[in-house]
Structure 1
Amino acid sequence: MLKEFCAENFTDIPAAIAKGVKRIELCDNLTVGGTTPSAGVIENAISYAHDHGAQIMTIIRPRGGNFVYNDYELKIMETDLVEAKKFGTDGVVIGCLTEDGWLDEEALEVLIDRAVGLQITFHMAFDAMPTEMQYEAIDWLAERGVDRILTHGGPAGTPISDNYQHLRELISYANGRLMILPGGGVNFENADEVAEMLGVTEVHGTRIVDI
């Protein structure tokens, strides 16, 4: 099982890798759900991770709050993505929505185009979508080569076990076209149970290993 560690800046990355973590989502400001870290953090985290056999997925998110971005914010995201790619990031973590809760197709197509050659995760903006739109969103993202969707399967703050049924439905619908990556309330104490209950081989969390 692959345990993806959600890191706030560089601080805990060495300890997480020492505990066996092979993939890291690199963020700043986890109190607002994660924003793009500084160039220095990205560069040094990638260098350290690659020296120690781990991958870095850099979040590209200009601010906390909702996932509806204006043109200036989208240009910021595009620039940050290109810079992270120059530093050698293994992948990026993105998510953009429209006011009505659907995928911001135009924005995502630009970012996906810039991310050619990288892994792409669609982050928990997915959980802000109306449930009935999520299945069509899986189709759209899978068709454009997105590798995984990070989702809690329900409202933030609910125990992930409350969301097993919906997560199973998403996993079944995705049918291997992309990975449904459970996160939010997954930690080193329940990761094995979550993976077993959902039949997944990857889990995500800020406490996915005991450090």
Structure 2
Amino acid sequence: MIIRELCVENFTEIPRAVAAGVERIELCDNLTVGGTTPSYGVIQQAAEFIGDQKTTLAVIIRPRGGNFVYNSYELKIMENDILKAIEAGAQNLVWGALTEDNKIDTEALETLMVASQGLPVTFHMAFDEIEDQYEAIDTLIEAGVDKILMHGDSLDKPLNTAKIAELVQYAQGKITIIIGGGVTVDNFEEYASLTGTNFVHGTKILSE
């Protein structure tokens, strides 16, 4: 079975997504900049609406658009937003943080994992900017991260299925790879088959 994660902006699309039986929703604000943390009220309403449906709710924690290198103030914001998202009913969390030289910010990783209180964590598409992705996978597995969202290349290029397939094989099921960026209702089955993952992500993975 392929698990579809529908990326939505704010609450508006959630009733349709739940009615369509989508397996997972990633809740964001400001998708024009790649998604930022939604408000407490939006998270709470989404969690309440989803209730005990089979759809699970993931919430992005990202204080701004732009790069994924955060200073101490921004990390404190992320930490507080994680605590509030959990309080509001988030079932999964989505975040990522890098150093200036595009490696995983291990200090931020440790801090944010503690704040996440054992909820499943997805390291988002900041992963695509990391040079040594094999080492990064090892780091994330060791930290207890549950999933990685990736495109396999810059978003202006097609999904790099060959590269993702290699990383899926390397991960050996110890961490789940989610594919996203250009994944739609028309191609997600093909992309899942080519990459060897059963987890797909996008804003257009449901029929209109």
TM-score exceeds 0.5: yes
Question: 1:183 and 2:145 equivalent?
Answer: no
Quick check: 61-70 or 45-54, which moved more?
A: 45-54
Structure 2's unaligned 5+ residue stretches are none
Q: Is the 8 A contact 2:183 2:205 kept in 1?
A: yes
Trace 1:21-170 onto structure 2 (pairs within 5 A). 21-130=22-131, 133-160=132-159, 163-170=160-167
Percent same amino acid among aligned pairs? 54
Which amino acid in structure 1 is aligned with residue 149 of structure 2? L
Give the 3-state SS of the residue equivalent to 2:51 in structure 1.
helix
Deviation at 1:9, TM superposition (A): 0.5
Q: 1:171 corresponds to which residue? A: 168
Q: Deviations over 1:67-107 (max 9, x none)?
A: 00011101100000000111121110010000011111101
CA distance in 1, matches of 2:158, 2:201: 14
Structure 1's unaligned 5+ residue stretches are none
Deviation at 1:137, TM superposition (A): 0.5
CA distance in 2, matches of 1:20, 1:54: 7
Runs of 4+ in 1 over 4 A off after TM superposition: none
Deviation at 1:50, TM superposition (A): 2.1
Question: 1:200 and 2:197 equivalent?
Answer: yes
Aligned length: 207
Deviation at 1:52, TM superposition (A): 3.0
Compute the RMSD of aligned alpha carbons.
1.0
Which amino acid in structure 2 is aligned with residue 148 of structure 1? K
Q: Is the 8 A contact 2:47 2:57 kept in 1?
A: yes
Quick check: 44-53 or 16-25, which moved more?
A: 44-53
